Structure formats: C-alpha cells, structure tokens
Amino acid sequence: MVGFGASEACDIVRAAGLEPYGPDLAPAPTTGVVSAQRPVAAAGAEQGAPVILWTRHDSHAAEEPAPPPLAPASPEPVPT
C-alpha cells in the first residue's frame, strides 16, 4: 500500500478481507500517503487480520514515526 493515498489504501485492504488501522491500532488513516505498512504486502495474512498503515502528509513529516525495519528471521535449531 506504500505510495497510495490513505483512503484508497484502506479500500484495497478491506477488499482483500483485512482491516486497516493506524499505528497502535488507532482508527484507519483517512488522509495522507501511506509511507509504511505491517505486515508487508507479500507476508500473507488471515481473513480479518489487521494491517497497520503509517501515513505522511508531505515529504518532510509523518503522522507517526515509521516502524523499524523487520529483523531477518534466524533459522531455528534442528533437534538432534
């Protein structure tokens, strides 16, 4: 959803069967441009799962700070 307007992004999220929210599960954003989302688009999610959208109103300020990058997954130890 990054790069879409907040309203359009929320419509797309809802059409996919998911629920859009702002940071800290605030109501879905209604203005601005989406600058980050969790989970990322390719992660897959269950029907009705929340999608957190961070928005910005111009190129210099964000409503909320963008989330930190996700840490790479570490392989689980294999039992011996």
Question: Does 73 reside within a domain?
Answer: no
Q: What is the mean pLDDT of residues 38-46?
A: 79
Question: Does 76 reside within a domain?
Answer: no
- Determine contact, residues 31/56, Cβ cutoff 8 Å: no
Q: Which domain holds residue 36?
A: 6-55
- The whole-angstrom separation of Cα 23 and Cα 29 is 9
Question: Does 79 reside within a domain?
Answer: no
Question: Does 1 reside within a domain?
Answer: no
Q: What angle do CA 71, 77, 80 make, to 5 degrees?
A: 175
Q: What is the mean pLDDT of residues 4-12?
A: 96
For residue 9, what pLDDT is reported? 96
Question: Does 69 reside within a domain?
Answer: no
For residue 65, what pLDDT is reported? 58
Q: How many domains does the chain have?
A: 1
Please choose, from the candidates 25, 80, 15, the residue with its C-alpha nearest in 3D space to the C-alpha of residue 52.
25
For residue 40, what pLDDT is reported? 82
Q: What are the φ and ψ backbone dihedral angles of 35, each rounded to 5 degrees?
A: -110, -15
Question: Does 19 reside within a domain?
Answer: yes
Report how far apart, in Å, the C-alpha atoms of 33 and of each of 40, 43, 53, 79 are.
Answer: 16, 21, 10, 46
Question: Does 39 reside within a domain?
Answer: yes
17 vs 40: which has the higher pLDDT: 17
- pTM comes to 0.69
